[in-house]
Amino acid sequence: MWFVVFLLSGISAIEMTFELQEHEVQCFHEIIPKDKKFTLEYQVISGGHFDVDCHLMSPNSKVIYKEQRKQFDTFHHSTVEEGEYTFCFSNEFSTFAHKTVYFDLDMEEDNKDAPGADAGGAHATALTQLESSAYAIHESLRLVVDYQSHHRLKERIGREVAEYLCERVQNWSIGQTVLIVIVAFGQVFMLRKLFDKPASRGGKVGI
Amino acid sequence: SSVCSCMNAEFGKQWYQRRVRGRVGYCIANMLELLLLAVVVLPCVHALTTTMTTWETKCFIEDVPDRTMITYNYKIHMFDDQLDAYHTAPTPDAKMFFTISELRKVGDGDHIKRIQEFNGGTGVLHYFAEEYGEFKFCLELHPQKSKEWQMTTGKLHLVVERQYQDDAEELIAETQDAITRTLQKTLRKVKQIKMEQRYYKKREQEFRSISWLTANRVIWFGALTAITVIACGCFMMQNLRSFFIAKKLV
């Protein structure tokens, strides 16, 4: 039982990278309790102009957030009602570009692990300096993990462009070389053909 | 929970930790000391819910460091026309196809590593990534046996777990002391950050080598093209000159 509790207390963030085909809408649902703060963050990693539409709906189908053709964005919200929240990503405006989108839904963690709220004991301990330092370190590390994933995404986008560039340089150079050789031979051949007719042209050529 | 049983039952002996006495220094005589026979430290669990129609494919991309165990635990609840609602339990005759492919380089195409079929509305897929990289996990919903020609929708509950294998063995003791718990959570996060940083360092090195390769290619292919132009020019001049001289035009 402890094991499950320990494991479940770690599920306070959902982060996934998924593929979105052209003209497609993908929706994700999440049941969020009342009076919780959550943050939805998304970024387009590859495809087309790197933009996507996103909208977020509350349990009674009210649109809380709606943005068109954004590359990345962050949205904070405090829930007023409990229920199933839906957020959707849409690539309907694109005709042939399939996109890869990363999203991160981060919910405020349960306070049962905060110092001063003992699970077993009935008394609430005052926050000693040590306890508050430990808590502060933990919170800072959450921020570090967050920045690290931003960094990872930007590196990923950069690397894909670099790989694509590398391939392209090679292919186009070879293509260009071949084209030059073809054009040269072609010109020589055409010119020779012009002079191949015998003097029946009528004395204009030659002396 | 299904994740719990998955971790304890499905992994081999090498994943189990030995019991280690605590050195944190807090008195735990009266409390339940549950030393977890926990497998590998640092599980990262993400749960999400989405809808799928028959024959639809959903693909997720996992960007993981080396020696990571990725687990996909899915449950699909199909829509029942008679009840006009989704089933509350996983539909037994739903079929799901999993495809795992590795994306290494752009233009190389996807290298398909594994294809697995699941029957029964629920299933667990494990994949151990020895090398670091990006892996695409695709789920395809096939029609149910009872409704071969119908297009139905289903609600998919997916629990994705990524476990990084770490070298050091670590004490994981559940105490009721808040500060110990916080410190242990902090330590775990630090390890996770360290592991990911190592991976990013490798990735960045790869990136740099690609850039160097591009720079070299630009120089060499540029030189090749220039030489080709000059050579073709010379060839043309020489050929045409000898041709015109032979034809007595000059």
Tell me what ipTM this predicted complex has: 0.71
B193 band by pLDDT with thresholds 50, 70 and 90:
confident
Gap from A181 CA to chain B (nearest CA, Å): 7
Quote the CA–CA distance of B169 and B16 in Å, as a whole number: 10
Cβ count near A65 (within 10 Å): 15
Best residue in B7, B175, B185 for a mutation probing chain A (most A CBs within 10 Å): B185
Q: A2 and B214 in contact by Cβ < 8 A? A: no
Residues 6+ apart with CB under 8 A from A120: B31, B176
pLDDT above 90: residue A123: no
Predicted TM-score of the model (pTM): 0.71
pLDDT above 80: residue B145: no
Whether residue A167 lies within 8 A of chain B, CB to CB, comes out as yes
Specify the pLDDT at position B13: 36
In this predicted model, which residue has the larger pLDDT, A136 or B22? A136
Within 13 Å, how many C-alpha atoms sit on residue A61's CB side?
Answer: 0
Q: Among A4, A28, A155, select the one facing B50 at the smallest CB separation.
A: A28
Helix (H) or strand (E) holding A102: strand A99-107
Closest CA to B24 of B167, B169, B168, B181: B181
Reported in sequence order, the residue ranges of chain B that DSSP labels E, i.e. its strands, are 34-35, 43-53, 57-64, 68-80, 85-86, 95-103, 111-119, 122-129, 133-142, 153-164, 173-174
Quote the CA–CA distance of B223 and B206 in Å, as a whole number: 26
Phi/psi of residue B133, each to 5°?
A: 155, -170
Check: CB of residue B38 under 8 Å from CB of residue B142. Answer: no
pLDDT above 70: residue B236: yes
Residue A43 tokens read as: 């970024």
Mean predicted lDDT score pLDDT of chain A: 80
Best residue in A141, A148, A153, A187 for a mutation probing chain B (most B CBs within 10 Å): A141
- Express each pLDDT in A68-80 by its tens digit: 988 889 999 888 8
A181 band by pLDDT with thresholds 50, 70 and 90:
very high
Closest CA to B57 of B156, B141, B148, B134: B141
A residues 59..118 contacting B (CB < 8 A)? 100, 113-118
In this predicted model, which residue has the larger pLDDT, A135 or B204? B204
Quote the CA–CA distance of B75 and B2 in Å, as a whole number: 11
pLDDT above 80: residue A23: yes
In this predicted model, which residue has the larger pLDDT, B143 or B227? B227
Check: CB of residue B22 under 8 Å from CB of residue B168. Answer: no
Quote the CA–CA distance of B127 and B69 in Å, as a whole number: 6
Specify the pLDDT at position B116: 83
